[in-house]
Structure 1
Amino acid sequence: MSALRTERLLNLLIALLNTRYGLRRSELREKVYRDTSSSEVAFGRMFERDKSDLRQFGFEVETVMDQGWGSDDPATTRYRIGKESNRLPDVNLTSAECTVLILAAQLWEQAALGSAAQNAMRKLQAAGGLTEAELPAGVQPRIRPAGQAFEDLVTAMHAQHPVTFRYLAGSTGREELRTVEPWGLGSRFGQWYLVGLDRGRAAKRFFRLSRFTSAVTVREKERYSPPPGFNVRKELDSLPELPVQSAIVDVASGKVLGLRKRATGAPTAGMPVETHDGGWDRLTVPFRDAEVLGEELASYGPNVTVVAPPELVSAVRRRLKAAADFAASSSPAVVFPDNPPAKRPRKRTSEDQLQRMLQLVPFLVHNQGLHISEVASSFGVTRKELEDDLRILICSGLPEGYPDDLLDIQWEDDHVYITQDLDLNRPVRFTVDEACALLTGLEALNGLPELAEGSALESVTVKLMAAAGEEGLKAASIAGPEVGPGNSAHLATIRQAITDGLQLHLKYFSAQRDSMSERDVDPLRLYSLDNTWYFEAYCHSARDLRNFRLDRIETLEPNGRRVTEAAKPADGFPVKLFTPNDDDALVIVELAPQGIGLADDYYAERTAPLPNGGLIAEIRFGSTGWLPMFVAQHGGAVRILAPQGLADAAGEWIDAALARYGG
């Protein structure tokens, strides 16, 4: 969509909103389109495309026929947009309900539905539905979807486009190309699943996203219709949990303490497995999904060798082989654009601009006099982008109207005011993405101890379902994970210490260092990724901020001392799992198409797109010793380009691991 088309659509929308009886196509062609060169047939096609675009933004164009005439006669057919049918109904929320809703919206901060959640909250704010709310002390739950595949599947599902991807079938162990009509995405048993029609088998199938072995390709020229009344949570409720199996693994003596802690018994206790390169211990480790455990075991490189079952051996070897092949392929030229953003941006389109402008007018009506930089920050754009929007808006209005028939917006003193809104003063109804983002987020909060069922969580869900209407029913296509903690006792202890301002003493297992340590910390904030909970704290041993996983804490108790003045949380939301410092090592990595989401996960400072859909990213790492594990774990999705020493170390780590499986 070009900028001229954006402006034309805005003028068409204003014209159709501000007519009582409707406008004929000839009137629209003359006054809005100012079209005199194209044929009637060509203009008709253009008009139908524009009607479709307006429908996409939530405005349904009504057809009104003169009495006694048919709709196939352009001279007697009129068009208009009802002022009420397309608007978001009034939603009045209490302070407690706003608290719950803000938590639900923040769940998607870095996910595919993050921008949709922000758009939905802006609409509620523009409608006057949000009130002052105080978030629970130090609690920030988040959902972490399954990488780039999740992003692409959400986009395809809501646009109703089929997708193709390579998939490792659990029943046969074969890797196959699948073409699927995506009906729903949901989290179950700690895994994300796609439910849809497998065209090759002409039947409904479930696909674990952890078994995708390629990027998702969206077939944008094809469409499909999902089954009526589809509910992904009900579908996943019928899915049996995978049975517990036993893995036999050999582990280098004194290594991989985390895996040893999960071992059930010691079948060779006192009988270490002797090899030519030192002592090894044979462990039995329970697991359900070979792909999930295979990702972890691949990261341990030459310190672990899988003995059985064959499916797990294959899962580990395949990842190591993919990492080795990616490292051995030809390297692209490393060229970053000038003045790059700190975060990999999503490509902005004219559709984004029009959608933003439709939110901007009611936002300004209900927030008169805001500083222009504050408005730009609220919409996540630069000041220049916002001013470009405002310049289009002030030139838009009724066809051939007087000055009073144009949108009137002023910002000469850097404070923005709007005095003429032309019936764009109320936000349009929720889109499917927006309804999904909020309603799925609310559902995911059910297990959070601070939000008891039957209270604000239930009431705000009912209100949003009523406001979302048909789009709210479509939100059943996504089901997020429950974000309740596995160890509520640790969470309660940390929350109380944060409230009371007391230090904590903990015994903690560090997976990167493969060691146990005891620390005194000043607890600052709790947050989660799915149902994995962390807390941010000032560590007195490290003399810096650190993040600790609750499921890796051995013991936890107050030490009786008050927190120190050094205890200050990191700026901004969300809490970063990795906080880069200026003296950290700069590492340049190449990300395959299926791994480009890692650039956001690790807060890349610079990125450059590659022709194959991949990405080059420059990332700061405080500790580089674990990067070979990182490369092996992601099996072919990432490789190190520079410094060369790190790239060589990762290659040697992977080669040594592959040697244990015959090379």
Structure 2
Amino acid sequence: MSASRTERLLNLLIALLNTRYGLRRSELRETVYRTVTGNDVAFGRMFERDKNDLRQFGFDVETLTDLGWSEDDPATTRYRIGKESNRLPDVQFSPDEWTVLLLASQLWERAALGTAARSAMRKLQAAGQMADIKLPAGVQPRIKPAGQAFDDLVAAMHTRHPVSFGYRAASTGQEERRTVEPWGLGSRFGQWYLIGFDRARQAARHFRLSRLTSSVETLAREQYTPPADFNIRQELDLLPELPRRTAVVDVRTGRLLSLRQRAVTNDVDHPAGPDADYERLALAYRDPEVLAEELASYGPDAVAVAPPELAEAVQRRLRAAADFSAAPVPLFTLSGARSRQDRAGTAEDQLKRMLQLVPFLVHNQGLHIQEVARHFGISRQELEADLRILICSGLPGGYPDDLLDIQWEDDHVFISQDLDLNRPVRFTVEEACALLAGLETLNGLPELAGGGALESVTLKLMAAAGEAGLRAGSLAGPAMAPADAGVHTTVRDAISSGSQLHLTYLSPQRDTVSERDVDPLRLFSLDDTWYFEAYCHLVDGLRNFRLDRVQDLRPTGTSISTDATALVAGSGRMFAANDGDTSVTVQLTGQGRGLADEYHAARTAELPDGGLVAEIQFGNTAWLPMFVAQHGGQARILAPAGLADAAREWLAASLARYGG
């Protein structure tokens, strides 16, 4: 969408909002479309596209006809937009409710619905400033990015388009092409599932996203209607948990402490392997694909012996990673990366932002222009571009009193003419889903247990969202309750009181157990896996620690240092770049491209096949061969050459343990 089209759509919207009886096509062409060239047929197609765009932004374009005449007659057909039906109802929240809303919106920060959640929050804030929020001390729950397939399925589900993808069935292990009408997405047993109507089997089926073997193809020319009473959480509750089974794994002597600690017994029915450097262990597991992903990352240090489907799953991942690593390197040119949260850079997104900007300025007169830009997550230059388009938009005729009147010459922004854009437009389905699914996900958060704010804000939001809120039942986030409740409580209390902790910690990457004193600064989660960020006095720097790898934790009786609290102000990432980190160029497939967001790629390059080349900063590069093996053909290292060679050697040695 070009800037001229953005301005045209704004003018069309304002014209249709400010007419009581409606406007005919001829009137719109003489005013809003007066600078557009082309014949009546071309104009008609453009007008229909513009109407569809306005509907996608949340505005219902009504069609009115003179009595006794047909809509097919342009001379007797008029168009308008109702002023109330398209607007978000006024809703007031208490400080506790704002706290819950902010936590719910932040859940999706690195996930697919992050942009929609921030947009919904801006709409709620447009009628006035958000109350002073005091979030739980250092607590930041997050939903882990579920990959590109999740993004594509959410988009298809909300636009009600069928999808097609390759899928490896758990029952047969065979890969098939599936065509599915996506009804809902949800997290269960630590995995994301799609539930929908399988056209080939003519029945509802569930699909685990990690078993998809191809990118998701959206059938944009087709539509479907999901069941009216569908609720994803109810469907997920019906999914049976996989039975507990035992795997036999040979582990290199003295390696993989974390795996050894999970061994159920060393007394296994299988005879010991021929290699004296390995020990045979028995491991409990439920899903062979989940265990295969982990074992593949360990490379030659772990060999799956039984059952056969587990060994085959590990080999399949290693072969795919080796084949991808050996493929020709594509041509690419790296440029500045856009993360999922700031990817809203198209002209279409600019128009959506401007429709939020006007009511925000109406209710927040005189804000400094930098403060307005910060609130919308854009630069001052981008904001001024928005304002310049706005002040050129208005009612047909273009007289001074018919235009939006916005001034910012003294760096403080004032608006005196809003042309009925002074209230935010109603929620889109994505915005309603992002907040309502986020609120439901927070049910297990200990900090909110027993409070009434979560229930009350959910009821208010459901009422404000209307029909879009009813469709929020198609999305269900993961459980947020930490498995290590005691460790979670100890860390949270230490953050609140500013107390230092003594930590005994198992590091799988270094394969060591160490003791250290740490200053805990914040708790955060990715789904139900919880971490805490702390200043580690052993390494004199910030580090992240997984709660389920903490072997012992106790207060030292010492307060944390003020220097540590200053350091955390600029953090907030799971993987943060530091001075001295190694710049690694990674190629990702269409399925794996979400890793560029997860690891905060500095630069990226799009590839013709839907894949991506990403430049990522890594502090510790020794584990990168494990990273390549774990992702089984979705990621490979291109540079530095030494790291690429190390990964290929790791994969070759891993496959050699299975006979080549």
| TM-score normalized by the length of structure 2 | 0.96
Letter aligned with residue 92 of structure 2: N
8 Å contact from structure 1 (residues 536, 569) kept in 2: no
Q: 1:119 to 1:573 in 2, by over 3 A?
A: farther
Name the CA distance, whole Å, in 2 between partners of 1:549 and 1:197: 38
Name the CA distance, whole Å, in 1 between partners of 2:156 and 2:32: 33
Post-superposition Cα deviations, 1:39-78, rounded to whole Å, max 9, x if no partner, equal 4444333322222211111111122333454444333332
1:596 alignment partner in structure 2? 593
8 Å contact from structure 1 (residues 406, 422) kept in 2: yes
2:146 alignment partner in structure 1? 146
Letter aligned with residue 328 of structure 1: A
1:354 alignment partner in structure 2? 351
1:297 alignment partner in structure 2? 295
Secondary structure of the residue that 2:447 maps to in structure 1?
coil
1:474 alignment partner in structure 2? 471
Q: 1:450 to 1:110 in 2, by over 3 A?
A: same
1:497 alignment partner in structure 2? 494
1:101 alignment partner in structure 2? 101
Q: Which stretch has the larger CA shift, 62-71 or 235-244?
A: 62-71
Q: Does 1:227 align with 2:227?
A: yes
**The one of 502, 513, 516 aligned to 1:516:** 513
Post-superposition Cα deviations, 1:209-258, rounded to whole Å, max 9, x if no partner, equal 11112222222233222222221111111111111111111111111111
Letter aligned with residue 390 of structure 2: L
Identity %: 68
8 Å contact from structure 1 (residues 142, 527) kept in 2: yes
Name the CA distance, whole Å, in 1 between partners of 2:590 and 2:158: 21
Counterparts of residues 508-657 of structure 1 (less than 5 Å) = 508-568=505-565, 570-571=567-568, 575-657=572-654
**The one of 396, 403, 407 aligned to 1:406:** 403
Instruction: Count how many residue pairs are aligned between Structure 1 and Structure 2.
Output: 659
Q: 1:38 to 1:616 in 2, by over 3 A?
A: closer
8 Å contact from structure 2 (residues 193, 206) kept in 1: yes
Q: 1:474 to 1:574 in 2, by over 3 A?
A: farther
Name the CA distance, whole Å, in 2 between partners of 1:388 and 1:565: 41
1:112 alignment partner in structure 2? 112
Letter aligned with residue 114 of structure 1: G
Q: Does 1:465 align with 2:462?
A: yes
Post-superposition Cα deviations, 1:268-298, rounded to whole Å, max 9, x if no partner, equal 59x993534x422111111111111111110
Letter aligned with residue 544 of structure 2: N
**The one of 286, 289, 303 aligned to 1:288:** 286
**The one of 299, 323, 326 aligned to 1:325:** 323
Cα shift at 1:500: 1.6
Cα shift at 1:453: 4.5
Q: Runs of 5+ in structure 1 lacking a partner? A: none
Post-superposition Cα deviations, 1:20-46, rounded to whole Å, max 9, x if no partner, equal 222222212222222786444443333
Q: Which stretch has the larger CA shift, 218-227 or 279-288?
A: 218-227
Q: Which stretch has the larger CA shift, 379-388 or 148-157?
A: 379-388
Name the CA distance, whole Å, in 2 between partners of 1:214 and 1:577: 27
Secondary structure of the residue that 1:554 maps to in structure 2?
strand
Name the CA distance, whole Å, in 1 between partners of 2:627 and 2:213: 17
Q: 1:131 to 1:634 in 2, by over 3 A?
A: same
Cα shift at 1:602: 1.2
1:194 alignment partner in structure 2? 194
Q: Does 1:430 align with 2:398?
A: no
Cα shift at 1:373: 2.5
Post-superposition Cα deviations, 1:345-372, rounded to whole Å, max 9, x if no partner, equal 6363222111111111111112222222
| TM-score normalized by the length of structure 1 | 0.96
Q: Which stretch has the larger CA shift, 557-566 or 480-489?
A: 557-566
8 Å contact from structure 1 (residues 109, 574) kept in 2: no
Name the CA distance, whole Å, in 2 between partners of 1:569 and 1:624: 27
Name the CA distance, whole Å, in 1 between partners of 2:323 and 2:412: 56
Name the CA distance, whole Å, in 2 between partners of 1:547 and 1:564: 18
Name the CA distance, whole Å, in 1 between partners of 2:310 and 2:414: 63
Secondary structure of the residue that 1:80 maps to in structure 2?
strand
Name the CA distance, whole Å, in 1 between partners of 2:505 and 2:36: 75
Q: 1:135 to 1:183 in 2, by over 3 A?
A: same
Name the CA distance, whole Å, in 2 between partners of 1:598 and 1:577: 12
1:14 alignment partner in structure 2? 14
1:174 alignment partner in structure 2? 174
Name the CA distance, whole Å, in 2 between partners of 1:457 and 1:260: 41
1:450 alignment partner in structure 2? 447
Name the CA distance, whole Å, in 2 between partners of 1:46 and 1:578: 46
8 Å contact from structure 1 (residues 180, 198) kept in 2: yes
**The one of 332, 335, 340 aligned to 2:333:** 335
2:183 alignment partner in structure 1? 183
8 Å contact from structure 1 (residues 58, 86) kept in 2: yes
8 Å contact from structure 1 (residues 273, 279) kept in 2: no
Name the CA distance, whole Å, in 1 between partners of 2:358 and 2:124: 13
Letter aligned with residue 74 of structure 1: P
Post-superposition Cα deviations, 1:331-353, rounded to whole Å, max 9, x if no partner, equal 1245323xx24757636322211
Q: Does 1:395 align with 2:392?
A: yes
Q: 1:221 to 1:3 in 2, by over 3 A?
A: farther
Name the CA distance, whole Å, in 1 between partners of 2:132 and 2:571: 20
Name the CA distance, whole Å, in 2 between partners of 1:133 and 1:116: 21
Q: 1:67 to 1:334 in 2, by over 3 A?
A: closer
1:309 alignment partner in structure 2? 307
Letter aligned with residue 484 of structure 1: A
8 Å contact from structure 2 (residues 501, 553) kept in 1: yes
8 Å contact from structure 1 (residues 524, 569) kept in 2: no
Q: Does 1:214 align with 2:214?
A: yes
Secondary structure of the residue that 2:562 maps to in structure 1?
coil
Name the CA distance, whole Å, in 1 between partners of 2:42 and 2:229: 38
1:420 alignment partner in structure 2? 417
Cα shift at 1:377: 2.4
Name the CA distance, whole Å, in 2 between partners of 1:129 and 1:465: 21
2:88 alignment partner in structure 1? 88
Q: Runs of 4+ in structure 1 displaced over 6 angstroms?
A: none
Q: Does 1:54 align with 2:47?
A: no
Name the CA distance, whole Å, in 1 between partners of 2:520 and 2:129: 34
Letter aligned with residue 540 of structure 1: H
Cα shift at 1:5: 2.1
2:272 alignment partner in structure 1? 273
Secondary structure of the residue that 2:591 maps to in structure 1?
helix
Cα shift at 1:596: 1.1
Secondary structure of the residue that 1:547 maps to in structure 2?
strand
